[in-house]
Structure 1
Amino acid sequence: MLLSFRVTNHRSLRDEQQILLTPEGRDDEGLSAPQDAEPMRVAGVFGANASGKSNVVDALRYMRNRVRGVPRRGGEEEPTEGIERWPFCLDPDSPGRPSTYVVDLLDEGERYTYGFTVDDTAVMAEWLFRYTADGREEAVFERDGDALSNEPDGGLFPVSNVIEIESNVLLMEVFSKMQPKLFDSTQMRSLRAVSRWFANGLLIRSRPSGIPRVRFTPMAPPGEETERRLGELLIAADTGIGEVSTEAVSRETKDGGVRESYRWVFRHRGAGHEHVLGIEDQSEGTQALMELGMRAFAVLDRGKTMVVDELDASLHTHLSARLIELFQDPESNPHGAQLVFTSHDAALLGRIRGAEVLGRDQIWFCEKVASGATEIYPLSSFEVADEGTRARKYLAGRYGAVPFVDDDLFAAALAAREDTPHDSSAPN
């Protein structure tokens, strides 16, 4: 589980910014004592358009992709020299400064801190620390450039003897491609735990604008239980759907063979009878809820961390709140899965149907300052007496993180100018 994420010099995140997923009562460094760390199940980041919310998600995705060795540059392999990154570019110094990414994790009762610093040419530093039961910090490994060191028991020495680490490649990336049980030691078990979280424990979801969400045909049936849960979710959302299922479809392949796949079937309630429709007939909101619901079920069942950019896109406020509730409720989330999301929806800051959607520790704001850099700060840094007034105070600008709209300029930008000819090709 994710306890915190820190990032420096990534896109608009010029100075170090941090999001904590631990309750109030933290230690001096912002985290609970190692043996007492209790990750929160939900955290929401709110802010105006272009405030940098998506850059927080992008930074965590960048860290995950580097650890996993995901191909860069549009699918090409990693270049033999240099490191692809996106530093802050609105001042003359930041593009040359290094970028740093750090996560604090809790895995099966063990707490870890893993991070790295890179510039345009090489990995400048990389480190992994674990915490003992009595709260002591132990170095699993520390890397300074190409130099690697670790604890005196030599747990990593076998690794450094049999692998060569390129200057622009993370040790964690090299390890993620090795056989999981090649070596066995406290250090190697720590490496496996962190590598496993990036590979299987972290799901990041964002939707490029204009791309349909769920236009797919499953290659294998999802199972009756998944169909049942998905149907219940869509029925509860008042979509008009009465049942969700899949049916087999045989398709001829280019070589003349036959391939069997499955398509979604939705039975809608009508006037006195039922209508059977396909996924292409569903609204974008229904598709959004279906896609998010399927991801959420997988995360909830396995106790993973799901990061969602623009949770409220195409979703009514009540549906966003319902998805958040699935993670907040111990009954529907018995394995402690996490949801971290960004949103514009101020209603999620208050009460919906009489219940508080988010606690004060779970709310973060994102604001772009005069320099163009993004700052992230928690609601808990403000004195808030009543959660019922949060949305109103936020929209009034009491917490910042709202756009300043120049009404005159906005109106002038939308107004048709007399000397501008009408463009008949413009969309209606």
Structure 2
Amino acid sequence: MLFRLEIENFYSIRDRQIIDLTVAENVPETPGRFAPVWHDAPERAPKVVAIFGPNAAGKSTVLRALSFIAWFVRDSFQLTPMARLPYERFNSNNGADSPTRLSITLGGLSDPSDEDSPACRYVYSLEIGGPRNEPQRVLAESVHYWPTPARRKIKLFERDSRGKVTASGNFGLPGFRQALDKVLRPNASVISTLVQLGHPFAMALWEAASIVSSNILIERSDGVEEAMVLLYSQNPALVDALNREIERIDLGIREMRLESGPTGPIALFQHEGHDGLMPLILESHGTRTFLRLYPHLLGALERGGIAILDELDTAIHPLILPEIIRWFHDPIRNPHNAQLWMTCHNASLLEELVKEEVLFCAKSSDGRTEVYALQDIQAVRRGDNFYRKYLGGSYGAVPYIG
């Protein structure tokens, strides 16, 4: 489970923002809401993280940072050697000349090759930058962990601005060093590079990044619905699960069917009271949005991953959205403590959440995003009406009109 995120000089976030989801020890257990940050850990974190704030306040930037880290760890080796990294620094002279820093803290197995090994804390850190108007490169990259029994910080690997990688014996680099030195590029992660060489520990870290699923597209935005239909056509079990769900939550659809078309698979829909099948292009925006989001949700729930969904509430009915959140609170639907990170505009959703599940984004007069948690605001009581207080301006992060 991911329980800490640090962002600096990334899109609208200029100053370092720390999102610490750790639940205080004195917070009572709320069924289904929290989970240990790793198996048997004393610390807990929420399984749902909802981010509220005005338009353009930086909500999507938080999710984009998470998505970028997962993409960089997993897929950056696929870039061409001089390709530009798909992100932007804060749009100021100072921001353009400063590096971007990102870091995540999460739980994982002390020995990824042994599923029975105890879990512990991992920290992945990345610093990227370089002269403006030039392709950005890695200035620093590292993974540290705190394995049992010592529970002290141990370096797995560290990379400096020259591309030199040093590693501990636990990481097992010696047999791969010569090849790594030849193929490691300034715009690719050590992990995604070592995966190409079959490095065992790197492959375990890569697999952890692979259970992060996001609807924020890092590299491209064309052909989204075509890719979605292809995904369903390649996964009959996903189609079966979707059909069970859409009938139960009343989208007005009895089932989705997939047939062969002239250029590939096509999706057709049987509606209640309709005799013929309707093509995807005639479905509502809400239905099409749900179809795109469902694989992210189901994949996270089945594998214990992280679903990162921007504007989940934009096209989803207000009665269906709480049901989706309940999937992550339900130990039967979510046996592996998957997490849902989402941005929201629908403030009524605050009535479904506890304060540890809520983040706010607000922008200063100079355009800098600030991220803060509802649980960190003084005098917020568990029984407060968060919806009314938020709209009344008690927590900030509301649009200013006038």
TM-score (norm 1): 0.77
Structure 1 partner of 2:2: 2
Equivalent position of 2:255 in the other structure: 244
Considering only CA atoms, is the larger Rg found in Structure 1 or Structure 2? 1
Q: How many pairs does the alignment contain?
A: 370
Query: Relative to 1, partners in 2 of residues 1:263 and 1:149: Cα closer, same or farther, differing over 3 Å?
Result: closer
Identify the match of residue 195 of structure 2 among 161, 167, 176: 176
Letter in 2 for 1:58: R
Aligned partner letter, 1:133: T
Moved more, 323-332 or 279-288: 279-288
Counterpart position of 1:13: 13
Q: Distance in 1 between matches of 2:138 and 2:246?
A: 47
> Secondary structure, in 3 states, of the residue corresponding to 2:104?
strand
- The answer to whether 1:60 aligns with 2:60 is no
* Post-superposition offset of 1:278: 2.8
- Kindly report the root-mean-square deviation, in angstroms, between the aligned alpha carbons of the 2 structures: 3.1
Partner residue of 1:205 out of 200, 215, 222: 215
Aligned pairs for 1:60-209 (under 5 A) are 60-70=66-76, 77-79=80-82, 85-90=87-92, 92-108=93-109, 109-120=119-130, 122-134=137-149, 135-146=151-162, 147-151=164-168, 155-164=172-181, 165-181=184-200, 189=201, 191-198=202-209, 200-206=210-216
Q: Does structure 1 residue 226 correspond to structure 2 residue 227?
A: no
Deviations 1:207-244 (A, max 9, x none): 79x98974664477466653443233222333222x21
Whether the 8 Å CA contact 2:59–2:343 is kept in 1: the answer is yes
Indicate how the Cα distance of structure 1 residues 94 and 245 shifts in structure 2: closer, same or farther if over 3 A, else same: closer
Partner of 1:279: 280
| 2:371 is equivalent to residue 376 of structure 1 | yes
2:29 corresponds to: none
Query: How far did residue 83 of structure 1 move?
Result: 6.0
1:317-353 deviations in whole A, cap 9, x for unaligned? 2122111111111111112211101111111111xxx
TM-score, scaled relative to structure 2: 0.81
Does structure 1 retain, via aligned residues, the 8 Å contact 2:120–2:146? Answer: yes
C-alpha separation in 2, matches of 1:239 and 1:152: 54
- Distance in 2 separating the partners of 1:308 and 1:8: 21
Q: Aligned equivalents of 1:397 and 1:23: distance in 2? A: 25
Once the 2 structures are TM-superposed, how far is the Cα of residue 130 of structure 1 from its aligned partner? 1.3
Q: Secondary structure at the match of 1:317?
A: coil
Report percent identity of matched pairs. 26
User: SS of 2:319's equivalent?
Assistant: helix
User: 1:267 Cα shift?
Assistant: 2.4
| CA–CA separation in structure 1 for the residues paired with 2:233 and 2:85 | 41
Q: SS of 2:46's equivalent? A: coil
Shift of 1:113: 0.6
Deviates more, 1:17-26 or 1:1-10: 17-26
Q: Is the 8 A contact 1:212 1:284 kept in 2?
A: no
Task: Structure 1: state its 5+ residue gaps.
Answer: 182-188, 254-260, 351-356, 407-428
User: Where do 5+ consecutive residues of structure 2 fail to align?
Assistant: 27-35, 110-118, 131-135
